[in-house]
Amino acid sequence: MMLEDLRVLACGGRDAVKLCATLLERAGASVDFEAANSVDYDVIVVSSDVDHAADWKASRMHIVCDITATGPQDSRAGTPWTDAQIQAMSGLMDTTGFAHGAPARIGIALTEISAALYAAAAIASAVRVKRLRGIVQNIDVTLMGCAASALTTFLPAAFAGRSAARVGNRHPACAPWNAYRTRDGWILICTSTEEQWRKLRQEARVPALDDARFTTLADRVGHVDELDALIETWTTTLATEDCTRICERIGVAAGPIVGIADLHDEANFRMRHPQAARLIEANGIDGQTYRQVSIFETSALSDTPVVAKPEIRKRDGDTAPLAGVRVIEIGQYTTAPLVGKHLAALGAEVVKIEPPDGEVARSWTPGQGGTSYFFALNNTDKQTIALDLKHEADRAHLRTLLEDADVLVENLRPGALAKLGFTRETLGAINPRLVYCSISGFGIASAYPSRPAFDTVIQAMGGLMDLTKSDGAPVKIGASAADILGGQAALFAIVARLAMPSEDAGTFIEISMQDVAAWCALFAAGKGASRGQTLACLDGHIWIEGDVSDTERARCITQPKIAAARSIAQAVPVMRVDELLDDSDFLADVLSVARDANGAFWPVLKVPYRLAKTPARVRAVPGAPEIVRRAPPAPARAPVPEDRPA
C-alpha cells in the first residue's frame, strides 16, 4: 500500500469528493465520511460550493482539498453547478454528438470524475511535501479547469481562429474511423495508417473501395460519407464478434460497443475482474459496484536487491512537490504525455523520448513554427530527446538515463518495450528503485494480447459509449476520455508511490484504460443520470436541468442562447470551444501562456489543481528533440587467420 498511514476525512456532497476518497482508500489510506474529531485527520476533502467547509481551510493543521465547480476568482464562483452544467459551460458538451445533431450530454459525470483523479494526485503531492519539508497547505480543484484540460484535441482549432465541429464517432483527420452496424450490433473500426487501410480494403472485398475517391487519406476524409456507407455494406454481413476477430488478425483497431448491462460478459473485463463480473451477473449494477474494479495494479518491479537511495536532488530554492524527481517518458499522443506534462508541472525533470523524426503529433495542424498546438498543450516543460531504439547505441543511452531515473512511464503496446530488451527484470537490474508505469488499452494480462487499441475503441468496450447517446444512438465522448482518464489514473498512482518513504523498493504500476473506463461507467450506471436536455436557440443550444415545458421550448427557438439561458431556471448556454476564448473567466482562470526556446509565445492551459504553497507551474514549450549522436563504428580489423587443427 502506498498511502497506508494517511488518515482522510471526506465530507463534501459532490461526487468528486466521494470518488477522491475512494481513490485514496484504494492507495491504502483510511477514510471516514463523518468527522469524529477533525484533529485526527491528515487530509480533509470538501466541496465548499455545495457544503459548508467550516474553518478547516484556515486551520493550517490539515491538508484541505476543496473541489468546486469554478475557481474562487471566477464570476460564477460559489454556485453549486452540476457536472452537466459544467459540460455545457466549458465546451465539452458541444464537442459530443453527431455532426448534424444537437450537442449531447456525456453519459458519465466526466468533470466530477476528472476532478476526483486530479484532486487525489494533488493530495498525494501535498503529502510528499509535508513528509519531506513539513509544509501543510490547502488545495483547490475546479471542475471547469478539469473540463478545459480535456479539450486538447479541440482547442488547437480555436487558437487558429476556427470552430471545431462535432464529428460523432468519426475522427477529423483519419478515415475509415467510425461506428458501423453489424448483423447483430455495432463495431468501432479505426485506421490510422495507409497499411491498415490497404489491409481493411482487401479484407472487405467491396469493389467500389478501390475507387480513386479513396486513394489517399485526404481523399478518404473528403469523401467520408460515401466511404462509411461502403464499409457498412461489408460489416452488416458479419456478426460483431467475427468482424472484430478479422480486424484483430490484420492489425486494425476495432471492438464492439458493449452495453453497460452486458459488461460482465465482455471477455477482457471478465478475465481481469472475475468477482465484479459475477456480482453484476447475479445482482445487476448498484451504487457500490464500481468499487469492485481497480483502476491500477501495483507489484514489485523485480527481485533485484535494493541499495540505499541517494538523497533527493533539489535545485536551490526549488520547493515544487516533485523537485529532484527524474522521469523518463516514452509515449505519443495523449496518455503518457499527459502524465509527463503534469509530473513536469509539479517540478519533476521529465525527459521525453521521441522517435528519430519526432513524435507524429508534432506535425499536426494547426500550429506554429512547425509544431502543433496539440503537441504543445500535451508536452509542456519537458526535455525532449530523439532516439532510435532499434539501434544498440541508442538503447545504451536509454539505459544510462534509466540508471539515474525515479520514474519510467510509457504507453507502448504491451510487450513492445520488452522486445527492445527492457523487460521488468532488466529494468530492475538497471535501476532497482525505479517506478515503472505501463499504460495500455487492455492491460498486460489480457484476453486480447495482440489487439491494438485507440481511445474510441476503449470508450466502446468500456461501457462509455453505451451511456452516451445522441438521438438514441451510441456516440463517443468528443474529448479523448479514455486516453485522458487513463493518464489521470497513472498520474495518481505514480505520485502516490512517490509520496512513500524513499527507501522502498522499485514498483511496477499497470494501467488498463479499459479498467478505468469500466470503473467510470459502472459508477455512472450505479448512480443513474439526472434529467435534462439541450434545446435549440437562434445561435446554438442551451442545457436545461430537469423537465422542460412547451412554452420554454418555444421561447428558446426565438432567442439567442445567452438570453434564453438567463430567462429559464436551471439553464446554461452550451458554449462552443472557440467561444471560450472570448470568455473573461476562461481567459483569467484557465488559459495561460508559455514560451519556447526561440522566445515564441504559446497558448497553454493552467493545471486544474492549485497547491497554495508549492504550486504546479506550466512554463515552457519544448523545441525540436535533441539528437543524440552515435559514436562512429570502429574501423574494421584485419582478418585473423582461423585456428585449424594440425
Residues with a catalytic annotation lie at 483
Reduce the DSSP state of residue 435 to 3 states and report it: strand
Three cell numbers at 151? 479539450
For residues 390 and 151, what is the distance between their CA atoms, to the nearest angstrom?
Answer: 34
C-alpha to C-alpha distance for 382 and 625, rounded to whole angstroms: 10
Cα–Cα distance, 520 to 510 (Å, whole number): 17
Torsion sign over Cα 384, 415, 23, 87:
positive
Q: Is the dihedral of CA 554, 557, 558, 560 positive or negative?
A: positive
618 in Cβ contact with 604 (< 8 Å):
yes
Beta bridge partner(s), residue 573: 542
The type of residue at 645 is: P
Q: Which residues contact 442 (CB under 8 A, 6 or more apart)?
A: 268, 414, 448, 451, 453, 512, 513, 514
What stretch of H or E contains 461? helix 455-461
- Strand 63-68 to 43-46 pairing: parallel
Q: What is the DSSP letter of 572?
A: E
How far apart are alpha carbons 633 and 483 in whole angstroms? Answer: 41
Q: Where are the alpha helices (DSSP H) in 205-314?
A: 217-222, 224-235, 240-249, 267-272, 274-283
Phi-psi bin for 228: left (phi > 0), alpha (psi -120 to 50), beta? alpha
According to DSSP, the β-strands at 407-410 and 435-440 are: parallel
Q: Give the C-alpha distances (Å, rounded to integers) separating 374 from 47, 216, 366, 401.
A: 32, 23, 8, 27
Distance CA 258, CA 460 (A): 6
40 contact partners, CB below 8 Å, separation of at least 6: 7
Distance between CA atoms of 179 and 176, rounded to whole angstroms? Answer: 10
What is the maximum alpha-carbon separation in the chain? 108
Q: DSSP letter at 313?
A: P
Q: How far apart are CA 45 and CA 12, in angstroms?
A: 7
Instruction: List, in sequence order, every residue forming a beta bridge with 642; answer none if it has no partner.
Output: none
In total, the chain counts a number of residues equal to 646
Which residue type sits at 84?
Answer: A
Q: How many CA atoms, within 13 angstroms, populate the side-chain half-sphere of residue 228?
A: 20
